[in-house]
Amino acid sequence: MNRKLFGVAFVCFALTFSTTTYAQLPVDFSQTVITTTPVRDNIYMLQGEGGNIVVAVSKDCLVVVDSQFAPLYDRIKAAIGTVSDLPVCYLLNTHHHGDHTGGNALFAEDGAIIVSHQNMRELMALGSPNALRGTRNPPAPPAAIPTLTYENAMSIELSGLRVALGHPGDSHTNADTYINFPDANIFVTGDIVTFGRYPNIDFALGGHIDRMISVCDNFIAMINDDTIVVPGHGLIGDKQNLIDYRQMLAVSRDRVKALMDQGRLLDEIIAARPNADYDEAMNVETRRIENWIRVIYYSYRPM
């Protein structure tokens, strides 16, 4: 299959696979622009449509974190080419959702080894459950499935670049990976952390608001005031941004849980707008405001 046709076919999978909670809206990828932000020490963040991408340059090759959507692959590769003309040797996935893995197969076609937590490989090979529909998403194309996995932690050492990967336990999903570039003091969180927007919680796969907060506490303890935090979505931040984000999670949870304890139904809690101050401060669209309440609610009352 030629690359253009593959991209069209794969995005259908990616949009279906990307999340169990957020409704997928049609995306006009022709309008997507890939922007490149230098982070530190030959490490860059790329943004377009989907999760943040990180590009780290060693002396011999590149390590890339996440791959957004297949139709953006050529633009992503062009953006990477402005940073370095070295090949991509490793593609690290923070989790299985399609806005982070849509370009996997095309990176693999060009020779990258795809790396993830072992649970993610299984989810992509078998297809993950979709809680809202009560169905199972289709398996990923074989080329998109990680070939190198780990259980608790692993490291990659290249000439001039060290990378540490870790599994935080069930929080956003049961297959998350955080990534540390220790020499540059850059910490990549995946969708456990999203600055400037509410996160998703994949409650069908072990996701839970309490565990999201607990993992954020662990992250805060792991970094220092000089650490640059690259979230799954949003602009780069620092330790204080992560502390503020963790506070937002806890306050949102407590507000929703208080209404649940009063016997309010989900629709009543959504209508009450318990997080109106955060909604306004982040200028969050209605769909994400409502879904944020839903994923907190379903953390305690599974569908």
* DSSP letter string, 58-78: -SS-EEEE----GGGHHHHHH
**What residue segments make up the domains of the chain, in order of their start?**
3-238
Q: Considering just the CA atoms, what is the radius of gyration of the chain in Å?
A: 18
Rounded CA gap, 89 and 91, in Å? 7
Per the DSSP assignment, residues forming a β-bridge with 150 are 117
Check: CB of residue 180 under 8 Å from CB of residue 163: yes
CATH of the domain spanning 3-238, picked from 3.40.50.720, 3.40.50.150, 3.60.15.10, 3.40.630.30: 3.60.15.10
pLDDT at position 54 is 99
Burial letters 24-49, b for 16+ CB under 10 A, else e: eeebebeebebeeeebeebbbbbbbb
Check: CB of residue 29 under 8 Å from CB of residue 72: yes
Structure tokens at 177: 């990976």
The helix/strand/coil state of 136 is: strand
pLDDT at position 28 is 85
Structure tokens at 212: 């999201």
Kindly give the confidence (pLDDT) of every residue in the chain, 303 residues in length, as a single tens digit, with 9 standing for 90 and above.
Answer: 445 444 444 444 344 444 443 334 567 899 999 999 999 999 999 999 999 999 999 999 999 999 999 999 999 999 999 999 999 999 999 999 999 999 999 999 999 999 999 999 999 999 988 776 678 889 999 999 999 999 999 999 999 999 999 999 999 999 999 999 999 999 999 999 999 999 999 998 999 999 999 999 999 999 999 999 999 999 999 999 999 999 999 999 999 999 999 999 999 999 999 999 999 999 999 999 999 999 999 999 987
Give φ, ψ of 229 to 5 degrees. -105, 120
Q: Give all strands of the β-sheet with 35-40 in edge-to-edge order.
A: 35-40, 43-47, 53-57, 62-65, 88-92, 113-117, 148-150
The helix/strand/coil state of 54 is: strand
